[in-house]
């Protein structure tokens, strides 16, 4: 794309996104046709991810692999280039070994669940990244919303969103379906 050519095509936006040089510690994502840069998270955000990751890895019926901040390429929405999101956590059955040898941005085939913990831009986690994950066919989207003190599990992706969701307040257990098959304890998330 020449410098004089206006940015009107979705391919141009994807090209710009792929060449971004973000400040150290920041991460850039392409979410529903918008480039979103996020600063490093706070300690409570990271602690929450750690608590959930440990439960999922230890208690799931299926042996799970976990990747924090793994880039996923997902189908874009109407007129949007392919979404590029970085969930706070990505879980996949260990026997699939989807993280081994994967590029920085990998397809989402084999992903069982993504985890998002709200931070500086909670609307992106609640809406945009959720829809991107649904369009990509990610079976489960787990949202820890620190502003509302709740945990929501979205399931059954269909037509660009999830058809089902189960929200519980911090402190209550949240049933996770197969391949996890256990009740996620949320008391320590407080």
Pairing of strands 89-93, 34-38: unpaired
Predicted local distance difference test score (pLDDT) of residue 38: 79
| Per-residue confidence (pLDDT) for residue 6, from 0 to 100 | 41
| Boundaries of every domain in the chain | 41-189
| Residue 57 confidence (pLDDT) | 95
Q: How far is CA 189 from the centre of its chain?
A: 18
122's CB contacts (< 8 A; 6+ apart) are 145, 146, 147
111-142 pLDDT, tens digit each: 999 999 998 789 889 999 999 999 999 999 99
pLDDT at 79: 53
> pLDDT tens digits for 69-124?
899 988 766 555 588 898 999 999 999 999 999 988 899 999 999 999 998 789 88
How are beta strands 150-158 and 140-145 bridged, if at all?
antiparallel
Top-confidence residue, 155 or 76:
155
How is residue 159 written in tokens? Answer: 């037509």
What's the CATH fold of domain 41-189? tt1808, chain A (3.90.1570)
Q: For the CA atoms of 172, 64, 86, 119, what is the dihedral angle to 10 degrees?
A: 20
Q: CA angle, corner 67, sides to 64 and 70, nearest 5?
A: 140
CA angle 130, 135, 140 (to 5 degrees): 55
pTM of the model: 0.84
d(CA 166, CA 6): 44
């Amino acid at each position: 794309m020449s410098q004089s050519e206006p940015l009107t095509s979705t391919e141009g936006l994807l090209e710009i996104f792929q060449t971004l040089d973000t400040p150290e510690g920041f991460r850039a994502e392409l979410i529903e046709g918008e480039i979103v840069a996020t600063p490093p998270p706070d300690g409570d955000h990271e602690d929450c991810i750690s608590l959930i990751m440990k439960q999922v890895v230890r208690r799931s019926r299926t042996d799970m692999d976990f990747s924090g901040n793994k880039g996923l390429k997902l189908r874009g929405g109407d007129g949007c280039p392919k979404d590029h999101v970085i969930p706070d956590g990505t879980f996949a059955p260990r026997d699939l070994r989807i993280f081994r040898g994967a590029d920085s941005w990998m397809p989402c085939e084999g992903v069982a669940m993504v985890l998002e913990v709200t931070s500086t831009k909670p609307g992106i986690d609640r809406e945009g990244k959720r829809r991107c994950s649904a369009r990509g066919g990610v079976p489960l989207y787990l949202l820890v919303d620190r502003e509302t003190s709740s945990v929501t599990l979205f399931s059954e992706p269909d037509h660009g969103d999830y058809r089902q969701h189960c929200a519980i307040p911090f402190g209550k257990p949240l049933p996770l379906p197969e391949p996890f098959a256990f009740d996620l304890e949320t008391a320590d998330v407080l």
